[in-house]
A = this chain, B = another copy of it.
Amino acid sequence: MDDRELLNVVMGVVGRENCLDDCAELPCGEQVMVVTTDMLHRTTDFVEGMTDWQAGWMSAAVTLSDIASMGAAPKYLLIAVGLDDWKSLSGVMQGAQDCCTRFGATIIGGDIDRHGELTVVTTGLGLVARDSIVRRKGARPGDLICITGTPGQAQARLDGYLQFEKALFEPQPRVEEGQQLGRAGVSAMMDDSDGIALSLYDLAGINGCGFAIDTKKLPLAPGIPPEQARELALHGGGDYELIFTIAPDKFPVAGVLSTVIGTVVAEKAVTADGIPLARRGYQHRWE
């Protein structure tokens, strides 16, 4: 049982339409409010060596990334902290606060609880103009598949390449890029936090079309054998780059550093260099 299978259980209760995107959407005056929540905790997410400040930063960053992936501007964050040691609170809060300040959001509420391990749940709210919102659905055959930045670095740190520690411990959500991409009219977008492969399968499932990538075009983390760097980018977790599709005549988008890695195709399959791409990446598992 993995978390994508469990999502089907949730869909059975609350309806499929409430489970498709990185954020939910609410009408809010002339704009759309997007809302998202994420649970992180010591065992799974706060890797050994991370400080409390970094745990707080990461908790805010993953949620701001979900907001960015809708093309929205993050505005508000709520943070619930479960503490095994009360002395962690100050660092966690300061890290979350610094991340919010960096990306234009304000912490407006939260909860404190005693817990068996450090657990942080962040809920983010963002705003976007109606015509700039981007969803996972919207890709059309012929669109380019693109990614921001250089994926695979967070997983590289997990696999022992210590020079990539900052990528794993202090992820930088693509907040400005997400809004620029939204205004530029990209057709679909999500972040690649579970790896490129699983993201492409999610997009293919929702769009009813195929995603064909060319692994030679993948930007690769430096200082790692290319074959391994490609594997990290495709199947690693912990990155917060934006994967998006865009009509060729709209690319490139001014001010956004991104790389074309493939093309949306009619045939429903996810392929790399013409052969099926392994459906593998970061997933929670239960026995």
Evaluate contact between A80 and B38: CB separation under 8 angstroms: yes
* B-side contacts of A28, CB under 8 Å: 28-29, 33
Nearest residue, chain B, Cβ from A26: B76
Query: Complex Cα distance A284/B111, Å?
Result: 12
How many residues of A sit at the interface, in one of the four size bands?
35 or more
Evaluate contact between A44 and B114: CB separation under 8 angstroms: yes
* Closest chain B CB from A28 CB (angstroms): 5
* B-side contacts of A78, CB under 8 Å: 24, 35-37, 123
What's the dominant secondary structure at chain A's contact region? strand
B13, B38, B108: the one contacting A35 at CB < 8 Å is B108
* B-side contacts of A38, CB under 8 Å: 80, 111
Evaluate contact between A119 and B82: CB separation under 8 angstroms: yes
Evaluate contact between B90 and A24: CB separation under 8 angstroms: no
Evaluate contact between A85 and B14: CB separation under 8 angstroms: no
* B-side contacts of A83, CB under 8 Å: 6, 286
A window 38-96: CB within 8 A of B: 38-41, 43-44, 75-76, 78-83, 85-86, 89-90, 93-94
Evaluate contact between B43 and A116: CB separation under 8 angstroms: yes
Question: Is A224 engaged at the interface, CB distance under 8 Å to the other chain?
Answer: no
* Closest chain B CB from A101 CB (angstroms): 10
